[in-house]
Amino acid sequence: MARVSSLLSFCFTLFIFFHGYTAQKFPNECQLDQLNALEPTHVLKSEAGRIEIWDHQAPQLRCSGVSFARYIIEAKGLYLPAFYNTAKLSFVAKGHGLMGRVIPGCAETYQDSPLFQPGRGGQYDEGQGQEGRQGQGQEGRHGQGQEGRHGQGQEGRHGQGQEQGQRQSQSFRDMHQKVEQIRTGDTIATSPGVAQWFYNDGQQPLVIVAVFDLASDQNQLDRNPRPFYLAGNNPEGQVWLQGREQNPQNHIISGFAPEIIAQAWKIDLDLAHKIQKPNEKHGNIVRVEGQFSAIRPPLRGQRPQEEDEERRGGEGNGLEETICSARVTENLDDPSNADVYKPQLGYISTLNSYDLPILRFLRLSALRGSIRQNAMVLPQWNANANAVLYVTEGEAQVQVVNDNGDRVFDGQISQGQLLSIPQGFAVVKRATSQRFEWVEFKTNANAQINTLAGRTSVVRGLPLEVVSNGFGISLEEARRVKFNTLETTLTHSSGPISQGRPRVAYA
Protein backbone atom coordinates (compact mmCIF):
# COMPACT_ATOMS: atom_id res chain seq x y z
CA MET A 1 0.00 0.00 0.00
CA ALA A 2 2.73 2.35 1.01
CA ARG A 3 4.67 1.37 -2.04
CA VAL A 4 1.74 2.10 -4.23
CA SER A 5 1.21 5.47 -2.68
CA SER A 6 4.88 6.12 -2.98
CA LEU A 7 4.92 5.15 -6.62
CA LEU A 8 1.92 7.31 -7.20
CA SER A 9 3.67 10.20 -5.62
CA PHE A 10 6.68 9.48 -7.77
CA CYS A 11 4.64 9.36 -10.94
CA PHE A 12 2.85 12.51 -10.01
CA THR A 13 6.20 14.12 -9.42
CA LEU A 14 7.31 13.10 -12.86
CA PHE A 15 4.13 14.40 -14.36
CA ILE A 16 4.56 17.66 -12.57
CA PHE A 17 8.15 17.83 -13.63
CA PHE A 18 7.37 17.36 -17.27
CA HIS A 19 4.47 19.68 -17.07
CA GLY A 20 6.65 22.29 -15.45
CA TYR A 21 9.43 21.65 -17.89
CA THR A 22 7.22 22.05 -20.90
CA ALA A 23 5.54 25.13 -19.56
CA GLN A 24 8.92 26.58 -18.90
CA LYS A 25 10.44 25.81 -22.26
CA PHE A 26 7.52 27.06 -24.27
CA PRO A 27 6.11 30.09 -22.55
CA ASN A 28 2.78 30.99 -23.99
CA GLU A 29 1.34 33.68 -21.80
CA CYS A 30 -0.73 34.96 -24.73
CA GLN A 31 -2.61 31.67 -25.15
CA LEU A 32 -5.64 33.47 -23.81
CA ASP A 33 -8.91 31.61 -24.02
CA GLN A 34 -10.68 33.99 -21.72
CA LEU A 35 -10.25 37.62 -20.76
CA ASN A 36 -11.68 39.34 -17.72
CA ALA A 37 -12.51 42.87 -16.75
CA LEU A 38 -9.88 43.44 -14.11
CA GLU A 39 -10.18 45.26 -10.81
CA PRO A 40 -7.33 46.34 -8.53
CA THR A 41 -5.93 43.55 -6.38
CA HIS A 42 -3.95 45.55 -3.84
CA VAL A 43 -4.70 48.81 -2.08
CA LEU A 44 -1.97 50.82 -0.37
CA LYS A 45 -3.54 53.26 2.04
CA SER A 46 -1.94 56.57 2.85
CA GLU A 47 -2.76 59.51 5.03
CA ALA A 48 -4.39 61.48 2.24
CA GLY A 49 -5.26 58.99 -0.39
CA ARG A 50 -4.55 55.50 -1.66
CA ILE A 51 -2.80 53.69 -4.45
CA GLU A 52 -4.65 50.82 -6.09
CA ILE A 53 -2.61 48.30 -7.96
CA TRP A 54 -3.59 45.74 -10.56
CA ASP A 55 -1.82 42.39 -10.40
CA HIS A 56 0.67 42.59 -13.25
CA GLN A 57 1.02 38.83 -13.14
CA ALA A 58 -2.57 38.22 -14.21
CA PRO A 59 -2.25 36.30 -17.49
CA GLN A 60 -3.69 39.02 -19.69
CA LEU A 61 -1.46 41.72 -18.25
CA ARG A 62 1.53 39.41 -18.45
CA CYS A 63 0.77 38.91 -22.12
CA SER A 64 0.59 42.66 -22.65
CA GLY A 65 3.76 43.22 -20.66
CA VAL A 66 2.34 46.10 -18.66
CA SER A 67 1.43 46.98 -15.10
CA PHE A 68 -1.39 49.30 -14.06
CA ALA A 69 -2.16 51.49 -11.05
CA ARG A 70 -4.69 54.06 -9.90
CA TYR A 71 -3.77 56.94 -7.60
CA ILE A 72 -6.52 58.54 -5.58
CA ILE A 73 -5.26 61.71 -3.98
CA GLU A 74 -7.61 63.50 -1.62
CA ALA A 75 -7.94 67.26 -1.34
CA LYS A 76 -4.69 68.77 -0.06
CA GLY A 77 -3.01 65.41 -0.58
CA LEU A 78 0.55 65.36 -1.84
CA TYR A 79 1.80 62.28 -3.66
CA LEU A 80 5.45 62.39 -2.68
CA PRO A 81 8.11 62.23 -5.37
CA ALA A 82 8.87 58.74 -6.64
CA PHE A 83 10.34 57.26 -9.77
CA TYR A 84 9.97 53.95 -11.57
CA ASN A 85 12.16 51.56 -13.48
CA THR A 86 9.78 51.79 -16.43
CA ALA A 87 8.33 54.30 -18.82
CA LYS A 88 4.97 55.47 -17.51
CA LEU A 89 1.96 57.05 -19.16
CA SER A 90 -0.58 58.62 -16.81
CA PHE A 91 -4.07 59.94 -17.41
CA VAL A 92 -5.94 62.29 -15.10
CA ALA A 93 -9.30 60.63 -14.77
CA LYS A 94 -10.82 63.12 -12.36
CA GLY A 95 -10.04 66.34 -10.58
CA HIS A 96 -7.24 68.82 -10.96
CA GLY A 97 -3.96 69.57 -9.27
CA LEU A 98 -0.29 70.28 -9.66
CA MET A 99 2.39 68.06 -11.07
CA GLY A 100 6.15 68.38 -10.97
CA ARG A 101 8.91 66.32 -12.51
CA VAL A 102 12.58 66.68 -11.76
CA ILE A 103 14.77 66.13 -14.77
CA PRO A 104 18.39 65.59 -13.79
CA GLY A 105 20.70 68.46 -14.62
CA CYS A 106 18.02 70.87 -15.75
CA ALA A 107 17.85 74.32 -14.24
CA GLU A 108 15.37 75.50 -11.65
CA THR A 109 13.39 77.75 -13.95
CA TYR A 110 10.55 78.53 -11.57
CA GLN A 111 11.50 81.25 -9.12
CA ASP A 112 9.74 83.44 -6.67
CA SER A 113 10.10 87.05 -7.65
CA PRO A 114 11.30 88.99 -4.60
CA LEU A 115 9.60 92.18 -5.80
CA PHE A 116 6.17 90.77 -5.35
CA GLN A 117 6.33 88.88 -2.09
CA PRO A 118 8.68 90.39 0.41
CA GLY A 119 8.43 88.50 3.66
CA ARG A 120 5.36 86.63 2.54
CA GLY A 121 6.66 83.05 2.68
CA GLY A 122 3.88 80.61 3.46
CA GLN A 123 1.13 83.10 2.72
CA TYR A 124 0.50 82.41 -0.95
CA ASP A 125 -2.99 81.49 -1.91
CA GLU A 126 -4.72 80.25 -5.00
CA GLY A 127 -4.62 83.75 -6.41
CA GLN A 128 -0.86 83.66 -6.39
CA GLY A 129 -0.96 82.43 -9.92
CA GLN A 130 -1.59 85.95 -11.12
CA GLU A 131 1.49 87.21 -9.44
CA GLY A 132 3.52 84.33 -10.67
CA ARG A 133 2.43 85.21 -14.15
CA GLN A 134 3.50 88.78 -13.79
CA GLY A 135 6.77 87.65 -12.37
CA GLN A 136 7.28 85.41 -15.32
CA GLY A 137 6.42 88.12 -17.72
CA GLN A 138 9.05 90.24 -16.16
CA GLU A 139 11.56 87.44 -16.46
CA GLY A 140 10.74 87.38 -20.10
CA ARG A 141 11.42 91.08 -20.36
CA HIS A 142 14.81 90.67 -18.77
CA GLY A 143 15.82 88.92 -21.94
CA GLN A 144 15.52 85.28 -22.65
CA GLY A 145 19.16 84.54 -23.20
CA GLN A 146 20.10 85.77 -19.77
CA GLU A 147 17.76 83.73 -17.71
CA GLY A 148 20.10 80.82 -17.28
CA ARG A 149 22.91 82.91 -15.90
CA HIS A 150 20.50 84.98 -13.90
CA GLY A 151 19.13 81.83 -12.34
CA GLN A 152 22.57 80.62 -11.37
CA GLY A 153 23.38 83.94 -9.89
CA GLN A 154 20.31 83.77 -7.73
CA GLU A 155 21.20 80.30 -6.75
CA GLY A 156 24.72 81.19 -5.75
CA ARG A 157 23.54 84.12 -3.73
CA HIS A 158 21.07 81.93 -1.98
CA GLY A 159 23.58 79.32 -1.09
CA GLN A 160 26.10 81.78 0.22
CA GLY A 161 23.43 83.67 2.00
CA GLN A 162 22.31 80.67 3.92
CA GLU A 163 23.16 82.09 7.32
CA GLN A 164 21.25 85.17 6.53
CA GLY A 165 18.37 83.09 5.24
CA GLN A 166 18.17 81.21 8.48
CA ARG A 167 17.82 84.41 10.38
CA GLN A 168 14.91 85.68 8.32
CA SER A 169 13.22 82.33 7.88
CA GLN A 170 9.93 83.91 6.85
CA SER A 171 11.38 85.89 3.98
CA PHE A 172 13.30 83.40 1.84
CA ARG A 173 12.27 82.62 -1.65
CA ASP A 174 12.34 79.34 -3.50
CA MET A 175 13.28 78.13 -6.92
CA HIS A 176 12.52 74.74 -8.42
CA GLN A 177 11.86 72.99 -11.67
CA LYS A 178 8.71 73.33 -13.71
CA VAL A 179 5.36 72.81 -12.02
CA GLU A 180 2.33 72.16 -14.21
CA GLN A 181 -1.36 72.49 -13.58
CA ILE A 182 -3.09 69.25 -14.48
CA ARG A 183 -6.75 68.55 -14.99
CA THR A 184 -9.08 65.83 -16.19
CA GLY A 185 -8.01 64.51 -19.55
CA ASP A 186 -4.32 65.32 -19.22
CA THR A 187 -2.06 62.55 -20.38
CA ILE A 188 1.43 62.67 -18.90
CA ALA A 189 4.50 60.86 -20.17
CA THR A 190 7.23 60.04 -17.66
CA SER A 191 10.64 58.54 -18.40
CA PRO A 192 12.12 55.83 -16.20
CA GLY A 193 14.16 57.17 -13.32
CA VAL A 194 12.52 60.59 -13.40
CA ALA A 195 10.97 61.64 -10.09
CA GLN A 196 7.41 62.95 -10.18
CA TRP A 197 5.01 64.35 -7.58
CA PHE A 198 1.34 65.35 -7.61
CA TYR A 199 -0.62 67.71 -5.41
CA ASN A 200 -4.37 67.95 -5.25
CA ASP A 201 -5.22 71.63 -4.96
CA GLY A 202 -8.91 71.11 -5.58
CA GLN A 203 -11.81 70.03 -3.40
CA GLN A 204 -12.53 66.70 -5.09
CA PRO A 205 -10.28 63.67 -5.13
CA LEU A 206 -7.67 63.74 -7.86
CA VAL A 207 -7.73 60.39 -9.68
CA ILE A 208 -4.83 59.41 -11.91
CA VAL A 209 -4.43 56.09 -13.68
CA ALA A 210 -1.09 55.01 -15.09
CA VAL A 211 0.33 52.24 -17.21
CA PHE A 212 3.90 50.98 -16.75
CA ASP A 213 5.60 49.36 -19.73
CA LEU A 214 7.47 46.44 -18.27
CA ALA A 215 8.38 44.85 -21.58
CA SER A 216 10.18 47.70 -23.30
CA ASP A 217 13.93 48.28 -23.32
CA GLN A 218 13.40 51.31 -21.09
CA ASN A 219 12.93 48.92 -18.21
CA GLN A 220 16.28 47.27 -17.67
CA LEU A 221 15.26 45.33 -14.58
CA ASP A 222 13.00 42.30 -14.51
CA ARG A 223 9.34 42.47 -15.53
CA ASN A 224 8.11 43.97 -12.29
CA PRO A 225 7.13 47.56 -11.60
CA ARG A 226 9.40 48.99 -8.92
CA PRO A 227 8.54 52.32 -7.37
CA PHE A 228 11.52 54.07 -5.78
CA TYR A 229 10.35 56.54 -3.15
CA LEU A 230 12.29 59.74 -2.58
CA ALA A 231 10.22 60.54 0.48
CA GLY A 232 7.42 58.94 2.43
CA ASN A 233 7.00 55.23 2.80
CA ASN A 234 4.74 52.28 2.21
CA PRO A 235 4.10 50.49 5.49
CA GLU A 236 2.28 47.65 3.75
CA GLY A 237 5.32 46.82 1.61
CA GLN A 238 5.52 46.03 -2.08
CA VAL A 239 2.76 43.49 -1.75
CA TRP A 240 2.59 42.81 -5.46
CA LEU A 241 6.17 41.46 -5.48
CA GLN A 242 7.05 38.02 -4.25
CA GLY A 243 9.08 38.05 -1.06
CA ARG A 244 8.46 41.70 -0.39
CA GLU A 245 5.20 41.27 1.48
CA GLN A 246 6.83 41.34 4.88
CA ASN A 247 9.00 44.41 4.70
CA PRO A 248 7.65 47.91 4.79
CA GLN A 249 9.03 49.97 1.94
CA ASN A 250 10.98 53.09 2.83
CA HIS A 251 12.25 55.98 0.81
CA ILE A 252 15.70 55.42 -0.62
CA ILE A 253 17.33 58.16 1.43
CA SER A 254 16.51 56.24 4.57
CA GLY A 255 18.68 53.38 3.36
CA PHE A 256 21.95 55.29 3.58
CA ALA A 257 23.89 55.75 6.77
CA PRO A 258 22.82 58.99 8.50
CA GLU A 259 26.42 60.24 8.35
CA ILE A 260 26.37 59.90 4.59
CA ILE A 261 23.19 61.90 4.35
CA ALA A 262 24.51 64.55 6.72
CA GLN A 263 27.69 64.90 4.69
CA ALA A 264 25.98 64.81 1.33
CA TRP A 265 23.42 67.45 2.23
CA LYS A 266 25.72 69.31 4.62
CA ILE A 267 23.16 69.18 7.38
CA ASP A 268 23.57 68.15 10.97
CA LEU A 269 23.13 64.55 12.01
CA ASP A 270 19.92 65.24 13.89
CA LEU A 271 18.19 66.49 10.81
CA ALA A 272 19.52 63.55 8.84
CA HIS A 273 18.05 61.19 11.41
CA LYS A 274 14.75 63.02 11.28
CA ILE A 275 14.60 62.75 7.51
CA GLN A 276 15.44 59.09 7.54
CA LYS A 277 12.76 58.12 10.03
CA PRO A 278 9.60 58.04 8.01
CA ASN A 279 6.30 58.49 9.73
CA GLU A 280 4.98 54.99 9.31
CA LYS A 281 1.36 55.99 9.33
CA HIS A 282 1.47 58.47 6.51
CA GLY A 283 2.41 56.36 3.53
CA ASN A 284 3.33 58.01 0.26
CA ILE A 285 0.42 60.45 0.03
CA VAL A 286 0.53 62.97 2.84
CA ARG A 287 -1.83 65.76 3.79
CA VAL A 288 -0.42 69.25 3.46
CA GLU A 289 -1.23 71.41 6.43
CA GLY A 290 -1.44 75.11 5.66
CA GLN A 291 -0.67 76.54 2.27
CA PHE A 292 0.99 74.70 -0.58
CA SER A 293 2.81 77.59 -2.14
CA ALA A 294 4.90 76.07 -4.88
CA ILE A 295 5.34 78.53 -7.69
CA ARG A 296 3.08 77.67 -10.59
CA PRO A 297 1.87 79.24 -13.79
CA PRO A 298 -1.72 80.42 -14.06
CA LEU A 299 -4.31 77.81 -14.81
CA ARG A 300 -4.95 77.16 -18.43
CA GLY A 301 -8.33 78.59 -19.25
CA GLN A 302 -9.58 77.00 -22.44
CA ARG A 303 -5.92 76.36 -23.37
CA PRO A 304 -5.49 79.55 -25.36
CA GLN A 305 -2.78 78.89 -27.90
CA GLU A 306 -1.26 82.32 -27.48
CA GLU A 307 -0.75 82.06 -23.77
CA ASP A 308 0.69 78.63 -24.25
CA GLU A 309 3.21 79.99 -26.66
CA GLU A 310 3.99 82.87 -24.41
CA ARG A 311 4.53 80.63 -21.46
CA ARG A 312 6.89 78.48 -23.37
CA GLY A 313 8.69 81.49 -24.74
CA GLY A 314 9.24 82.71 -21.21
CA GLU A 315 11.26 79.67 -20.28
CA GLY A 316 14.47 80.79 -21.90
CA ASN A 317 16.17 79.99 -25.12
CA GLY A 318 19.23 78.13 -23.92
CA LEU A 319 20.03 74.49 -23.82
CA GLU A 320 17.24 73.81 -21.40
CA GLU A 321 14.76 74.32 -24.21
CA THR A 322 15.63 70.91 -25.62
CA ILE A 323 15.43 68.16 -23.06
CA CYS A 324 14.57 70.24 -20.06
CA SER A 325 11.52 71.86 -21.60
CA ALA A 326 10.31 68.93 -23.66
CA ARG A 327 6.55 68.83 -23.49
CA VAL A 328 5.22 65.78 -21.67
CA THR A 329 1.56 66.62 -21.18
CA GLU A 330 -1.35 66.78 -23.58
CA ASN A 331 -5.04 67.07 -22.85
CA LEU A 332 -7.20 64.49 -24.59
CA ASP A 333 -10.56 65.70 -23.34
CA ASP A 334 -11.00 68.67 -25.61
CA PRO A 335 -13.39 67.59 -28.39
CA SER A 336 -12.07 70.37 -30.58
CA ASN A 337 -8.88 68.37 -31.01
CA ALA A 338 -10.67 65.08 -31.60
CA ASP A 339 -9.48 62.86 -34.40
CA VAL A 340 -12.93 61.38 -34.94
CA TYR A 341 -15.87 63.60 -34.08
CA LYS A 342 -19.52 62.88 -34.66
CA PRO A 343 -21.86 65.07 -32.61
CA GLN A 344 -24.52 62.36 -32.43
CA LEU A 345 -22.14 59.56 -31.54
CA GLY A 346 -19.10 60.83 -29.72
CA TYR A 347 -15.44 61.47 -30.32
CA ILE A 348 -12.07 59.75 -30.26
CA SER A 349 -8.70 61.44 -29.72
CA THR A 350 -5.34 59.82 -30.10
CA LEU A 351 -1.98 60.79 -28.72
CA ASN A 352 1.10 59.42 -30.39
CA SER A 353 4.70 60.41 -30.96
CA TYR A 354 3.72 62.90 -33.65
CA ASP A 355 1.80 64.86 -31.04
CA LEU A 356 4.18 64.27 -28.17
CA PRO A 357 7.67 63.40 -29.41
CA ILE A 358 8.85 62.03 -26.08
CA LEU A 359 6.54 59.06 -26.66
CA ARG A 360 8.94 57.87 -29.34
CA PHE A 361 11.42 57.01 -26.61
CA LEU A 362 8.84 55.63 -24.25
CA ARG A 363 7.22 53.32 -26.84
CA LEU A 364 3.75 54.24 -25.58
CA SER A 365 0.72 56.03 -26.93
CA ALA A 366 -2.84 56.68 -25.82
CA LEU A 367 -6.37 56.94 -27.11
CA ARG A 368 -9.29 58.69 -25.46
CA GLY A 369 -12.84 57.86 -26.40
CA SER A 370 -16.21 59.20 -25.40
CA ILE A 371 -19.36 57.82 -27.00
CA ARG A 372 -23.08 58.11 -26.41
CA GLN A 373 -25.61 55.42 -25.69
CA ASN A 374 -25.79 52.81 -28.44
CA ALA A 375 -22.90 54.27 -30.37
CA MET A 376 -20.59 51.51 -31.51
CA VAL A 377 -16.88 51.59 -32.14
CA LEU A 378 -16.59 49.46 -35.26
CA PRO A 379 -14.71 46.15 -34.82
CA GLN A 380 -10.98 46.67 -35.06
CA TRP A 381 -7.63 45.28 -34.03
CA ASN A 382 -4.30 46.73 -32.98
CA ALA A 383 -1.73 45.91 -35.63
CA ASN A 384 1.47 46.61 -33.74
CA ALA A 385 0.65 47.08 -30.07
CA ASN A 386 -0.94 45.63 -27.00
CA ALA A 387 -3.59 47.81 -25.42
CA VAL A 388 -5.16 48.16 -22.01
CA LEU A 389 -8.53 49.87 -21.82
CA TYR A 390 -9.61 51.65 -18.65
CA VAL A 391 -13.18 52.88 -18.20
CA THR A 392 -13.43 56.36 -16.75
CA GLU A 393 -17.19 56.71 -16.96
CA GLY A 394 -20.27 54.71 -17.80
CA GLU A 395 -20.35 51.23 -19.17
CA ALA A 396 -20.20 49.39 -22.43
CA GLN A 397 -20.73 46.01 -23.93
CA VAL A 398 -17.49 44.68 -25.31
CA GLN A 399 -16.65 41.61 -27.37
CA VAL A 400 -13.07 40.48 -27.96
CA VAL A 401 -12.04 37.74 -30.40
CA ASN A 402 -8.65 36.03 -30.28
CA ASP A 403 -6.44 34.52 -33.01
CA ASN A 404 -8.38 31.29 -32.90
CA GLY A 405 -11.63 33.07 -33.77
CA ASP A 406 -12.94 32.47 -30.25
CA ARG A 407 -14.90 35.13 -28.44
CA VAL A 408 -12.72 35.47 -25.34
CA PHE A 409 -14.63 38.33 -23.80
CA ASP A 410 -18.31 39.15 -24.04
CA GLY A 411 -19.68 41.33 -21.34
CA GLN A 412 -20.08 44.66 -19.70
CA ILE A 413 -17.20 46.75 -18.54
CA SER A 414 -17.86 49.66 -16.28
CA GLN A 415 -16.19 52.57 -14.58
CA GLY A 416 -12.94 51.67 -12.89
CA GLN A 417 -12.41 48.39 -14.71
CA LEU A 418 -9.49 47.47 -16.91
CA LEU A 419 -9.50 45.26 -19.99
CA SER A 420 -6.41 44.02 -21.78
CA ILE A 421 -6.61 43.73 -25.56
CA PRO A 422 -3.52 41.96 -26.93
CA GLN A 423 -2.01 42.65 -30.34
CA GLY A 424 -4.18 41.37 -33.17
CA PHE A 425 -7.19 40.57 -31.00
CA ALA A 426 -10.35 42.06 -32.51
CA VAL A 427 -12.61 44.18 -30.33
CA VAL A 428 -15.98 45.90 -30.63
CA LYS A 429 -17.44 48.31 -28.08
CA ARG A 430 -21.00 49.57 -27.69
CA ALA A 431 -22.05 52.12 -25.09
CA THR A 432 -24.83 50.81 -22.86
CA SER A 433 -25.02 53.79 -20.52
CA GLN A 434 -25.81 57.36 -21.47
CA ARG A 435 -22.15 58.05 -21.99
CA PHE A 436 -19.22 55.69 -22.12
CA GLU A 437 -15.78 57.16 -21.68
CA TRP A 438 -12.49 55.34 -21.64
CA VAL A 439 -8.78 55.67 -22.14
CA GLU A 440 -6.60 53.13 -23.94
CA PHE A 441 -2.88 52.85 -23.41
CA LYS A 442 -0.91 51.17 -26.18
CA THR A 443 2.58 49.73 -26.17
CA ASN A 444 3.74 51.42 -29.35
CA ALA A 445 4.58 55.05 -30.01
CA ASN A 446 2.49 54.88 -33.17
CA ALA A 447 -0.07 52.20 -32.62
CA GLN A 448 -2.02 51.36 -35.75
CA ILE A 449 -5.64 50.32 -35.79
CA ASN A 450 -7.21 48.19 -38.50
CA THR A 451 -10.97 48.18 -38.75
CA LEU A 452 -13.13 45.33 -39.95
CA ALA A 453 -15.95 47.52 -41.18
CA GLY A 454 -16.31 51.02 -42.55
CA ARG A 455 -14.81 53.23 -45.17
CA THR A 456 -11.19 52.68 -44.21
CA SER A 457 -11.63 49.05 -43.26
CA VAL A 458 -9.82 45.99 -44.42
CA VAL A 459 -12.79 44.70 -46.42
CA ARG A 460 -12.83 47.92 -48.44
CA GLY A 461 -9.22 47.30 -49.41
CA LEU A 462 -9.87 43.77 -50.64
CA PRO A 463 -11.04 43.02 -54.19
CA LEU A 464 -14.64 41.89 -54.42
CA GLU A 465 -13.54 38.45 -55.57
CA VAL A 466 -11.51 37.95 -52.42
CA VAL A 467 -14.43 38.94 -50.20
CA SER A 468 -16.83 36.82 -52.20
CA ASN A 469 -14.65 33.72 -52.24
CA GLY A 470 -13.47 34.23 -48.70
CA PHE A 471 -16.91 34.29 -47.16
CA GLY A 472 -18.57 32.02 -49.70
CA ILE A 473 -21.03 34.72 -50.71
CA SER A 474 -22.06 36.17 -54.04
CA LEU A 475 -20.35 39.16 -55.61
CA GLU A 476 -23.45 41.18 -54.91
CA GLU A 477 -23.39 40.21 -51.24
CA ALA A 478 -19.69 40.93 -51.11
CA ARG A 479 -20.43 44.34 -52.52
CA ARG A 480 -22.82 45.02 -49.68
CA VAL A 481 -20.24 43.90 -47.16
CA LYS A 482 -17.66 46.19 -48.71
CA PHE A 483 -19.64 49.31 -49.44
CA ASN A 484 -22.69 49.47 -47.16
CA THR A 485 -20.98 51.08 -44.18
CA LEU A 486 -19.80 54.55 -45.04
CA GLU A 487 -18.63 55.53 -41.59
CA THR A 488 -15.07 55.07 -40.49
CA THR A 489 -14.83 54.42 -36.77
CA LEU A 490 -18.11 55.12 -35.03
CA THR A 491 -21.56 54.02 -36.04
CA HIS A 492 -24.99 53.83 -34.51
CA SER A 493 -26.03 50.50 -33.12
CA SER A 494 -29.73 50.06 -32.56
CA GLY A 495 -31.35 47.44 -30.46
CA PRO A 496 -29.86 45.07 -27.94
CA ILE A 497 -27.30 42.53 -28.95
CA SER A 498 -27.61 39.01 -27.71
CA GLN A 499 -25.07 38.40 -25.10
CA GLY A 500 -23.86 35.29 -23.43
CA ARG A 501 -20.87 33.41 -22.23
CA PRO A 502 -17.71 33.63 -24.25
CA ARG A 503 -17.72 31.03 -26.98
CA VAL A 504 -14.52 29.10 -27.30
CA ALA A 505 -15.49 27.56 -30.60
CA TYR A 506 -18.04 28.26 -33.26
CA ALA A 507 -20.86 25.76 -32.90
Site for a second copy in 53-82 (CB under 8 A): 57, 62-65, 78, 80-81
Site for a second copy in 474-493 (CB under 8 A): 475-477, 479-481, 483-486, 491, 493
Nearest residue to 199 (alpha-carbon basis) of 311, 36, 71: 71
What's 319-368 look like in SS3? Answer: HHHCCCCCCCEEECCCHHHCCEEECCCEEEEEECCCCCCCHHHHCCEEEE
Which of 75, 275, 326, 358 is close enough to bind a second copy by CB under 8 A?
275
Q: Which H/E stretch holds residue 197? A: strand 195-199
CB 186 within 8 A of CB 330: yes
CB 410 within 8 A of CB 46: no
Site for a second copy in 121-180 (CB under 8 A): 121-122, 155-156, 158-159, 162, 165-166, 169, 172, 174, 176-177, 179
At a CB cut-off of 8 Å and minimum separation 6, what does 97 contact? 73, 181, 182, 198, 199, 200, 201, 202, 206
CB 436 within 8 A of CB 377: no
Site for a second copy in 430-459 (CB under 8 A): 430, 443-444, 448-456, 458-459
Using CA atoms, how far apart are residues 189 and 275, in angstroms rounded to an integer?
Answer: 30
Backbone angles phi, psi at 228, to 5 degrees: -110, 115
Stretch in the footprint of a second copy (CB under 8 A) among 37-45, 102-110, 333-341, 344-352: 102-110
Residue closer to a second copy by CB (options 66, 185) is 66
Q: x/- contact string, 226-245, with a second copy (CB under 8 A)?
A: xxxxxxxx---xx--xxxx-
Does residue 381 belong to the site contacting a second copy (CB under 8 A)? yes
Name the amino acid, one letter, at 388: V
Q: x/- contact string, 276-295, with a second copy (CB under 8 A)?
A: xxxx--x---x-x--xxxxx
- Neighbouring CB atoms inside 10 A of 1's CB total 5
Using CA atoms, how far apart are residues 434 and 69, in angstroms rounded to an integer?
Answer: 26
Q: How far is the CB of 106 from a second copy (least distance, A)?
A: 7
Using CA atoms, how far apart are residues 341 and 348, in angstroms rounded to an integer?
Answer: 7
Q: How far is the CB of 304 from a second copy (least distance, A)?
A: 26
Stretch in the footprint of a second copy (CB under 8 A) among 224-232, 299-307, 311-319, 346-354: 224-232
Site for a second copy in 351-380 (CB under 8 A): 376, 378-379
Residue closer to a second copy by CB (options 93, 481) is 481
- Neighbouring CB atoms inside 10 A of 26's CB total 8
Helix axes 258-265, 269-276, angle to 10 degrees: 120
Residue closer to a second copy by CB (options 392, 468) is 468
Q: x/- contact string, 202-221, with a second copy (CB under 8 A)?
A: -------------xxxxxxx
Residue closer to a second copy by CB (options 179, 207) is 179
Q: How far is the CB of 40 from a second copy (least distance, A)?
A: 18
Residue closer to a second copy by CB (options 92, 99) is 99
Q: How far is the CB of 302 from a second copy (least distance, A)?
A: 27
Longest dimension (CA), the chain: 94
Q: How far is the CB of 290 from a second copy (least distance, A)?
A: 9
